[in-house]
Structure 1
Amino acid sequence: MVCLNVDLIAKSHAHLKNRRSMSLSQYLKKVTHLNFSNKNIEDIGDISICRNLTVLYLYDNRLTQICNLDFACSLTHLYMQNNNIKRIERFSCLQRLAKLYLGGNNISVVEGLEQLTELRELHLEGQRLLPGEKLLFMPSSLLAESLNVLNISNNNIDEIQDLAVLKRLKQLFAANNQLQDLEDVFSQWQELCRMDLSGNPVCHKPKYWDTVITVCRRLEELDGKEISEFSRQFLKNWKASREVKKKSERKD
C-alpha cells in the first residue's frame, strides 16, 4: 500500500536534491506546495511536520477517506478529485480552505463543511453514484456566506431548491443532470454571472434562454454562450411591454 508520509516525500520530491544546505526536517517545515497526484496513494499518513502547507495535490489516486489533515490549518487549496472517497469528513480544522476539488469520487451526500467559512469554490462534479442515486445536500453544510463557485455537473440532480441560500453564488455548473423546471431559486442569486445547465431537460422548455436571462439579471454567460448586452436589453424591454399590456387588459 502506498502511503503519503515523510519517507515518500523525501524519496519523491525533486527539490530535495538541490537543497544540500537544508535538512529534510527544515525543508518539510517550510514547504508550502506538495504534488502527489497519480501516485497510487491509498492512505495519508503523518505529514504534520509540513505545518506551512497551503496547496496539496492528491488527485488521481486511490484514497478512500480524508484523514490526517488536521494539522494543515494553513491549507487553502485541496485537490482530491478522481479517488474513491465516500464521505466528506474531518474538515473542521481546515478553516482557511478556499478551494476544494472532490469531483469524480463516490460521494452521495454533501456534508461536513460547516466549519469552512472561507470556502469560495466547491467542485463535486461526476460522482460515481449507484443506479437511481442522486447527489444530496445537508442544509447545514451549505456555505451561504462564502461560496462563489459550485460545480455539481453529472450527478443525477433533479432539483436545486436547497441551494437557494447561496446568496453569493457567482458561478454554477450543473450540466447533465435531471433538472426539469426553472425554479424560483434562480431569482435569488443576485450575483450570478455564469451558469451552465446544458444537458438538462429544462433546456428544452419554451423560451428557456429568454426566461433565464430575464430572471438572472447579471448573467454574462449561459451554457457556454455569452449573453450580449443587446440581447439583455431587448428582453428587458420586451418583458416591460408585456407587463404594460397585461395591466391595460385588466383595466379594460
Structure 2
Amino acid sequence: MSEFEAERGNPTEPEHVHWAGMMPAIPQPGAGAAAESVGEIEAQGEALDGGGAEGKEQATGDVSKEAPTTSVETGGHAEEHTTRLTEGHGSCSGPTGMEEGGEAQNHHHSHGCSHEGHDHDHEMVESHVGTLELVRPGDVVELVEGMQDLYIMGTVDGFQKVTKMDGLQDMSSLTEMTLQSCLIAKMEGLEGLTSLTRLTLYDNQILSLNIPPSLSGLTYLDMSYNLVKSTAPIAGCPLLDEAFVAQNRVRAIEGFEGLTRLRKLDLGANRIRAITGLEACTLLEELWLGKNKITQIGGISTLVRLKRLDVQSNRLTAIEGLEGLTELRELYLSHNVIDNAHGLESQVNLDTLDLSRNKIDSFDGLQHLGQLTDLWMSGNLISTFESLDALKPLGSLTCLYLEHNPLYTDFEYRKRLAVVLPTLTQIDATAVAR
C-alpha cells in the first residue's frame, strides 16, 4: 500500500463526494457534463463561478498539549477537517466522476459544508453584520492563562457563534486556534498571539486577510469558506507549510512569492482565471485549483516536487504545461473540454488519472503510463472496443471507469472490457469476477 493510499483509506465504491475534492458531500454548482466548447462554458458565467478540491486533505496533526487545553465542539453544519480523498488507487475505488444527471465532483480535503445555500447564508450575514449580538471567544469558553489550544465550533442555529475576535490580548501562549462556523467578519484582535502556529477561521464571514506581524510564525492557515477577495496579505506568513483558501472570492493568485516552504495549497472554488505567482513555491507537493475559471495549465514548471494536481471543473481544452513534473502521482482534470489525452509524456510515475467528463474519443497518449493503476474516463466519447488496445501496455492498470461513453451501451460491455484488459479488478464501481 502506498503512502497516498494509506492517507486516503480504502473505500470500496465511489461516494461521488463533492469538492477539495476531499470532503464530506459538498454539492457544487452546475459544472454538469462538459460543455461543447469553451464558448459554451463562458456562456455558463457564474455557473462555474466560485472555484474544488474536488478532494481536498488537511493534516491537522497531533500536537502535544502539556499546558491547559480548551476545546468546545458545539455541533453545527461544518464538521472538523478530516483527511478524505474519495478514491484509493490501490483499492481501485472509484472516481469522483458524475453520477448520471449529477454535478461536478471533487478530489480533496473535506470541509463538510454544502456549497448550495452556503453563499446565501454568507450574503445574508454580510447585510446584517451590524446587528449581530456581540459574542467573544471568552463568552463561549473560559480563557485560561497558559492554555495552548482554543477550539470553538458554532452551531447550526447560531447559538454561541463567535462574532468578534476580542479579548485575546493576554493569550500569548496559544499555539493553535480554531474559530470555525462562526459569524466573524474581521480578522482583528490577533496582535497578542505571538506563539500561534496554526490558525483555522474556516466558515466565517471574513472579507479580507488582515495578518498582523504577530502571525508571521504561522505554519498552517485555513481561511476556507469565507468572503476573501485577495490572498496578497498571505505574504506576511513566510513559514506557511499548508494554506487553504478554498471557496472564497479570490480572482488572482497573489502573495505567494516568498512562501518557499509551502507544501500544500488549496485555492479551489474561487474565481481564478490563470495559474501565476507560484514559481517560488518549489517545495509544493499538493495543489488544488478545481472549480475555478482556468483556461490553461501553466506557471507550474518549477514545482518539480508536485505529487497531486487538481484542475478539475475549469475551462481547459488541452493537457499541457506539465513538462518536468516527473513526480506527479495523481492528476485530476475531470469536467473540462479536453479533446485528447496527449501532453502526459513526462508523467511516468502517474498512478491515478481522472479525465472524466471531457470530449476525448481515444486512449492515444496514455500508452507510456506504465505505473497507472486507476484511469477514470467516464462521460467521454470512446466508441469502440478496438480503441482499448492502446491500454494493453499498461500492466499495472487495475481500475477503469468508462461508463457513459458510447461503448457503454454494449450489452457485453463489462465482459468485453475484462477480456481485452485482463489486469482489471474493477470496472466502473463494480469488482471484476473472474
TM bucket (normalised to shorter chain) is: 0.7 to 0.9
| 301, 305, 329: which one aligns with 1:92 | 301
Query: For 1:85-117, what per-residue CA distance to the aligned partner results, in whole angstroms no more than 9, with x for missing partners?
Result: 001001111000000000000100110101101
- TM-aligned CA deviation for residue 14 of structure 1: 6.1
| SS of residue paired to 1:161 | coil
Match of 2:407 in 1: 202
Q: CA deviation at 1:181?
A: 1.1
Deviations 1:227-248 (A, max 9, x none): 13xxx2xxxxxxxxxxxxxxxx
SS in 2 for 1:42: coil
Cα distance change of structure 1 residues 144 and 41 upon mapping to structure 2, 3 Å threshold:
closer
AA aligned to 1:193 is T
Where does residue 26 of structure 1 map in the other structure?
Answer: 217
Tell me the residue number matched to 1:152: 355
Whether 1:193 aligns to 2:193 is no
Question: Is the counterpart of residue 166 in structure 1 residue 369 in structure 2?
Answer: yes
Structure 1 residue 169 displacement after superposition: 1.0
> Which consecutive unaligned segments of at least 5 residues does structure 2 have?
1-175, 179-186, 197-213, 219-236
Q: Aligned to 2:331, what secondary structure does the other structure show?
A: strand
Matched, 1:73 2:293: no
Amino acid at match of 2:422: R
**Structure 1 or 2: larger helix share?**
1
Alignment gaps of 5+ in structure 1: 1-12, 233-252
Aligned residue number for residue 110 of structure 1: 319
Q: Quote the offset at 1:144 in angstroms.
A: 4.4
Which amino acid in 1 is paired with 2:382? L
Which amino acid in 2 is paired with 1:135?
D
Q: What are the superposed Cα offsets for residues 201-235 of structure 1, whole Å, 9 maximum, x if unpaired?
A: 1122353212211232221110111113xxx2xxx
- For the 8 Å contact 1:111–1:137, the answer to whether it is kept is no
Query: What is the alpha-carbon distance in structure 1 between the residues aligned to residue 347 and residue 277 of structure 2?
Result: 27
Question: Aligned to 2:273, which of 44, 59, 64?
Answer: 64
How far apart are the structure 2 equivalents of 1:164 and 1:216? 13
State the 1:31 CA deviation.
1.9
| Paired amino acid for 2:427 | L
The aligned counterpart of 2:422 is: 217
Higher relative contact order (CA 8 A, sep 6+): 2
For the residue of structure 2 that corresponds to 1:195, the secondary structure is strand
1:216/1:68 CA distance change after superposition, 3 Å: same
Question: Percent of aligned pairs with the same residue?
Answer: 27
Which region of structure 1 is more displaced relative to structure 2, 16-25 or 61-70?
Answer: 16-25
Question: In proportion to residue count, which structure has more strand?
Answer: 1
Q: State the AA in 1 paired with 2:240.
A: V
The separation in 2 between residues aligned to 1:173 and 1:221, in whole angstroms, is 11
Maintained 8 Å contact 1:126/1:153: yes
CA distance in structure 2 between the aligned counterparts of 1:75 and 1:120, rounded to whole angstroms: 13
Deviations 1:159-208 (A, max 9, x none): 11221121211101100111001221121111011111000111223532
Asked whether the equivalents of residues 95 and 118 of structure 1 are also in contact (C-alpha less than 8 Å), the reply is yes
Contact kept, 8 Å, 1:120 with 1:147, in 2: the verdict is yes
Residue pair 2:399, 2:426 contacting (<8 A) in 1 also: yes
Distance across 1 between alignment mates of 2:411 and 2:256: 55
